[in-house]
Amino acid sequence: MKPRIQKIFQNLSPAPDALVFANAVDPHLDQTFFYVFDVPAGLFEGSVAIAHPDGKLDILTASLEAETAREAAKRDPNVEVHVIGRDETDAEAKRILGGATTIGLNYRELTHEWFLRLERAFDDAKWVDASNAIRRARVTKDPNEIQLLRKAAEIGSKVGREIPGLLKAGMTELELAAEMEYRMNRFGASGRSFSTIVAFGPHSAEPHYSPAETKLKAGDSIVCDFGAYYRRYASDITRSYHFGRRDDEMKRVHETVEAAQKAALEAIRPGVPAKEVHLAAQRVIDASPWKGRLTHGVGHSIGLVVHDGWAYAGTAEDPLEVGMAITVEPGIYLPGHGGVRIEDDVVVTKTGYEFLTTAPREYIEVAA
Task: Give the pairing of strands 353-355 and 344-348.
Answer: antiparallel
**What rounded mean pLDDT belongs to the chain?**
96
* Fold of the domain built from segment(s) 2-138: Creatine Amidinohydrolase; Chain A, domain 1 (3.40.350)
Average pLDDT over residues 262-267: 98
pLDDT at residue 322 tops 90: yes
Other C-beta atoms within 10 Å of 21: how many?
A: 28
What are the pLDDT digits (tens) for 203-214?
A: 999 999 999 999
Q: In the chain, what are the domain boundaries?
A: 2-138, 143-366
- Residue range 143-366, CATH number: 3.90.230.10
What are the beta bridge partners of residue 221? 242
What's the number of CA atoms in the CB half-sphere (13 Å) around residue 148?
Answer: 20
Average pLDDT on 13-19 reads 96
pLDDT digits (tens, 9 = 90+) for 174-197: 999 999 999 999 999 999 999 999
When pLDDT is cut at 50, 70 and 90, the band that residue 368 belongs to is confident
Residue 244's region, left for phi above 0, alpha for psi from -120 to 50, else beta, is left
CA dist 323 to 297, 301, 348, 365, Å? 21, 11, 5, 35
**Which pLDDT value is given to residue 1?**
79
Residue 143: per-residue pLDDT: 97
- What pLDDT shows up at residue 104? 98
The per-residue pLDDT for 98 is 87
Q: Kind and range of the H or E element at 102?
A: strand 102-105
Look at residue 47 in the predicted model and tell me its pLDDT. Answer: 97
For residues 276 and 354, give the distance between their C-alpha atoms in angstroms, rounded to a whole number. Answer: 18
Contact between 280 and 297 under an 8 Å Cβ cutoff? The reply is no
| Torsion from C-alpha of 148, 26, 310, 328, nearest 10 degrees | 50
Q: What is the pLDDT of residues 148-180, one digit of tens each?
A: 999 999 999 999 999 999 999 999 999 999 999
Among 97, 167, 153, 104, which residue's Cα sits nearest to residue 132? 104
- The full 3-state SS of 52-96, as one line of letters, equals CCCCCEEEEECHHHHHHHHHHHCCCCCEEEEECCHHHHHHHHHHH
Tell me what percent of the residues of the chain surpass a pLDDT of 70.
Answer: 100
120: left (phi over 0), alpha (psi -120 to 50) or beta: alpha
Give the Cα-Cα-Cα angle 11, 15, 21 (nearest 5 degrees). 80
pLDDT > 90? residue 283: yes
Query: How much of the chain, in percent, has pLDDT values that exceed 90?
Result: 96
Segment 218-223 shows an average pLDDT of 97
Look up the pTM and report it. Answer: 0.95
- State residue 222's pLDDT score: 98
Q: Residue 288 is which amino acid?
A: S
Helices (H) and strands (E) counted in the chain, each on its own, are: 10, 20
| pLDDT score at 18 | 98
Confidence tier at 42 by pLDDT (50, 70, 90)? very high
Q: How far is CA 51 from the centre of its chain?
A: 23
Q: How confident is the model at residue 96, as a pLDDT?
A: 96
Q: What is the pLDDT of residue 76?
A: 93
Examine the pLDDT at 86 and tell me if it is beyond 90. Answer: no
Give per-residue pLDDT as tens, 286-321: 999 999 999 999 999 999 999 998 899 999 999 999
300 and 307 in contact (C-beta within 8 Å)? yes
